[in-house]
A = this chain, B = another copy of it.
Amino acid sequence: MPTTVKVYQQVLKEMQQIIKEKELEPGDRLPSERYLADKLKIGRSSVREALRAIELLGLIETKQGEGTFLRDYQSYHTVELLAGFVLQDHNTQREIMEAKKMLEKNAIELAIDKMDDAALESIELIINDDNLTHTQLHDEFFAHIFSYGQNFLLYKIWRFMQDFSKSVKNNTYGIDFYNQIAEILKTKKHHQIYTLYSEQ
């Protein structure tokens, strides 16, 4: 179907080639925009279209005055971006809130076997921190749990939803809710996780 391949698409292929040939790794510098335009005999704007596209994906990083660098792909970039658009079509707050809850359960499940006594204590400290607002508590609490879960991708997805929900709705939970989770984490009773949120 693509009767005519766009120039920036070719640039992408060319760049893959360059990366492969020169065995470039994350952190390495890519050829400059002007060099690429010159070498491929195309306009710089076309090169930029390609670069901006994969920059948005999180594949490269640009530093003004220095150059363009390959970077470690961070999948959350993509997810964040897509979420931002997909949310528009199916703009159901309900879905976001629901998804957020599911991810919070996931976080607990991932963390439950990775938390030692010190970790559990730090959780308690957050729960009992009187300086935090309800929203801040929720935020800190789960951010902390996610950190033990060791899945940055899930954390970033949750982060997005959490930020979104903050801007839309103020969903607060009583302190019992957090204590209950702390208890589950302590006793490591996985199966109790699914009982959370049930009365929402």
Chain A residues at the B interface, C-beta cutoff of 8 Å: 8, 12, 16, 19-20, 24-26, 45, 48-50, 52-57, 59, 72-75, 78-79, 81-92, 95-96, 98-99, 102-103, 105-106, 109-110, 151-154, 156-157, 160, 164, 190-191, 193-194
Copies of this chain held together in the complex: 2
CA of A99 to CA of B153, assembled, Å? 7
Are A82 and B102 neighbours in the complex by a CB distance under 8 Å? no
Are B157 and A79 neighbours in the complex by a CB distance under 8 Å? yes
Interface of A is mostly: helix
Name 25 interchain pairs, CB-CB below 8 A, sorted by A: A12-B56, A16-B84, A16-B88, A19-B88, A19-B89, A26-B89, A45-B45, A49-B49, A49-B53, A57-B78, A57-B81, A59-B82, A73-B82, A74-B92, A75-B92, A75-B96, A79-B157, A86-B153, A92-B153, A98-B151, A98-B154, A99-B153, A106-B106, A157-B157, A193-B194
CA of A53 to CA of B72, assembled, Å? 19
Q: Which residues of B contact A106 (CB under 8 A)?
A: 99, 102-103, 105-106
